[in-house]
Each structure stands twice: as C-alpha cells, then as structure tokens.
C-alpha cells in the first residue's frame, strides 16, 4: 500500500480522497498485511468511503465475528429472525414487535 498514505494522523476525508486516486491500490490486507490476490478469494471494497482490502482468511474471520456478535450461530435466534423477516415481507415498514405490542392492548 505504498501508494496510499493511510496513516492515522490524517482525517477520514483525507484518506477517502486517496481512494479516488488511481495510484492508490489496496495491495495488502488491512488486518494482517498479507498480499491481496482476488483470484484466491481476497476482496477489495469500501467501508463507507474508506478503501479496504481483506485476505480470504481475514474476510472469513470478520464474517464469523459478525455472526457471533449477532447471535446468528444460535438456531433459536435464527428462527426468530426468519419469522421477523417473513413478517416484514408481509407488512413492509412495520416490525413484528410493533404488531405484538398492539395486540397486547
């Protein structure tokens, strides 16, 4: 990532401006520093306006962390979320919890 000055002393807006620069290649994983090879499953993209790149191992770890943080590794949580999604599909814009509260009165 020698073409990008992503040091912490710069604002996010200054770093985002680098994303517009065609010389700003994300050649290393932002987590572990491994070289990025999209043919091997590594990814390049953006967190909001900041350019990011992750190797396949860090992508997998990040995905697993999100799954754990949201409880999606628990079958009961997944089943509840599926019911909520079905309800949202049937009643767009209204959460299932909204209708449950209305039914209590």
pLDDT digits 0-9 by tens, 45-68: 888 888 889 999 999 999 999 999
Q: Is the pLDDT of residue 6 over 70?
A: no
d(CA 105, CA 37): 57
Nearest to 28 by CA among 60, 6, 61: 6
Mean local confidence (pLDDT), 3-14:
63
pLDDT at residue 98 greater than cutoff 80:
no
Report the 10 Å Cβ neighbour count for 5: 13
pLDDT at 103 over 70: no
User: Whole-prediction pTM value?
Assistant: 0.58
């Amino acid at each position: 990532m020698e073409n990008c000055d992503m040091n912490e002393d710069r604002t996010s807006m200054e770093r985002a401006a680098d994303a517009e620069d065609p010389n700003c290649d994300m050649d290393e994983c932002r987590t572990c520093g491994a070289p990025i090879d999209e043919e091997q499953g590594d990814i390049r993209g953006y967190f909001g306006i900041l350019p990011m790149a992750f190797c396949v191992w860090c992508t997998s770890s990040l995905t697993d962390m999100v799954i754990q943080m949201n409880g999606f590794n628990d079958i009961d949580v997944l089943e509840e979320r599926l019911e909520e999604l079905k309800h949202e599909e049937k009643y767009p814009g209204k959460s299932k919890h909204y209708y449950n509260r209305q039914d209590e009165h």
